[in-house]
Amino acid sequence: MAQQTALSAPELVDRIVAGERRALARAISLVEADTPTGREVQAALYPRTGHAQTIGITGSAGAGKSTLVGALAREERKRGRTVGIVAVDPSSPFSHGAILGDRIRMQDLTSDGGVFLRSMASRGNLGGLSETATGVIDVMDAAGFDVVIVETVGAGQDEVEVATAAGTTVLITNPGGGDEIQSMKAGLMEVAQILVVNKADLAGSDTAVTQLKALLAIADLGAWTPPILKATAKTGEGIPELVDAIDRHQEHLHSSEHAEDERRALSRKQIVALARASLHRQALEVAHGSGALDDLVSAVAARRRDPRSAAESLLEAVKREWAASE
């Protein structure tokens, strides 16, 4: 480990490209910690990205995302593809919150050399989650995995951003999730390219399909109409059909006459999200350093100023500092 720490970015890149898993794990840690070496590795690997199928799996807690990711990975392996998995959901059994039963269910995957698992903790309020998760996806892509699967909770904006960074986003719901489907944000429907009613062995799966169809009918869709599939991840039922659907969508992505536009739209979204997170971090550093924030907090706490105008004063102070250091 001490030896690994000393590896330079170019050395790490060489080893990752050569398929060395320990170098990959190390590089991902550096990307996640957002170190200068991590950034260098990311930049050097980026031209090698674009070969993996990237798949986002999203849906609310309890929808069975982790089990479905496991089933999906097994089916991809059957088809001879290598699989990288990034779990962004803090409650995922792939993450810290793992309960024993889940770990055991996943054991065949973790011992398969063709599968690489990585969990990421949620980052709190700095919005750094999508920033680092897309970096980790890119590194796995460049490392040569045929498929990179990202599992997120489809709740926060961060998580939705992560999911949409994938080429194909799969939204998981359940039978009896009628209330949830009704209140589903239209935006979430519109980021998904495939809809799956998981736990389809339970009563009400046809109703769920009907509800999803109704929602799709009013959604603002492009050239691709999301298929609605039924699956039972626990038994593997419906999983080959899901992989077929993913393959069809990936083919659509690359063959579509709008492929170039979609690629530009994704790049734009990524650049803006990364710039936003970085800008916020930099501004906070300046604000804390200058003491301007403390003064404004006192004024607002005493109700001498409103938070809105205090925020604007803070921004002016930050921009003045930036201008002075140009």
Would you count residue 185 as binding its own copies (CB under 8 A)?
yes
Question: Which of 18, 210, 264, 289: binder of its own copies (CB under 8 A)?
Answer: 264
Phi first, then psi, for residue 169 (nearest 5°) are: -105, 130
Q: How many CB atoms lie within 10 A of CB 52?
A: 25
Ranges within 153-172 binding its own copies (CB under 8 A): 153, 155-158
Q: Residue 172 Cβ, how far from its own copies at the closest point, in Å?
A: 14
- Establish how many alpha carbons lie within 13 A of residue 236's alpha carbon, considering only the half-sphere containing its beta carbon: 8
Q: Looking at beta carbons only, is 155 or 219 nearer to its own copies?
A: 155
Question: Which of 222, 272, 289, 291: binder of its own copies (CB under 8 A)?
Answer: 272
Would you count residue 25 as binding its own copies (CB under 8 A)?
no
**Cα gap 159→5, rounded to integer Å:** 30
H or E stretch at 251: helix 239-255
Which range of residues in 73-81, 200-208, 247-255, 304-312 is near its own copies by CB under 8 A? 304-312
Q: Which residues pair with 83 in a beta bridge?
A: 115, 147
Would you count residue 39 as binding its own copies (CB under 8 A)?
yes
Would you count residue 33 as binding its own copies (CB under 8 A)?
no
**Cα gap 81→60, rounded to integer Å:** 28
Would you count residue 309 as binding its own copies (CB under 8 A)?
yes
Q: Residue 180 Cβ, how far from its own copies at the closest point, in Å?
A: 6
**Cα gap 69→243, rounded to integer Å:** 11
Q: Residue 211 Cβ, how far from its own copies at the closest point, in Å?
A: 14
Q: Looking at beta carbons only, is 225 or 298 nearer to its own copies?
A: 298
Angle between helices 21-32 and 9-17 (to 10 degrees): 130
Would you count residue 108 as binding its own copies (CB under 8 A)?
no
Question: Which of 25, 98, 219, 284: binder of its own copies (CB under 8 A)?
Answer: 284
What letter represents residue 55's amino acid? Answer: I
Q: Which residues pair with 55 in a beta bridge?
A: 149, 168
Q: Looking at beta carbons only, is 25 or 155 nearer to its own copies?
A: 155
Q: Residue 31 Cβ, how far from its own copies at the closest point, in Å?
A: 9
Would you count residue 290 as binding its own copies (CB under 8 A)?
no
Angle between helices 9-17 and 128-142 (to 10 degrees): 50
Which range of residues in 75-83, 111-119, 207-215, 318-326 is near its own copies by CB under 8 A? 318-326
Position of tokens 């996640």? 32
Question: Which of 47, 80, 101, 113: binder of its own copies (CB under 8 A)?
Answer: 47
Question: Which of 8, 275, 285, 289: binder of its own copies (CB under 8 A)?
Answer: 275
Residues 222-241, mask of contacts with its own copies (x by CB under 8 A): --------------------
Strand blocks (E) in the chain? 53-59, 83-87, 115-119, 147-153, 168-173, 194-197, 228-230
Q: Residue 1 Cβ, how far from its own copies at the closest point, in Å?
A: 26
**Cα gap 14→12, rounded to integer Å:** 5
Question: Which of 79, 213, 282, 289: binder of its own copies (CB under 8 A)?
Answer: 282
Q: How many CB atoms lie within 10 A of CB 186?
A: 10
- Establish how many alpha carbons lie within 13 A of residue 144's alpha carbon, considering only the half-sphere containing its beta carbon: 11
Which of these, 6, 138, 220, lies nearest to 118 by C-alpha position?
Answer: 138
Would you count residue 207 as binding its own copies (CB under 8 A)?
no
The two most distant CA atoms of the chain are separated, in Å, by 66
Which range of residues in 70-78, 208-216, 237-245, 278-286 is near its own copies by CB under 8 A? 278-286
Ranges within 72-101 binding its own copies (CB under 8 A): 90-91, 97
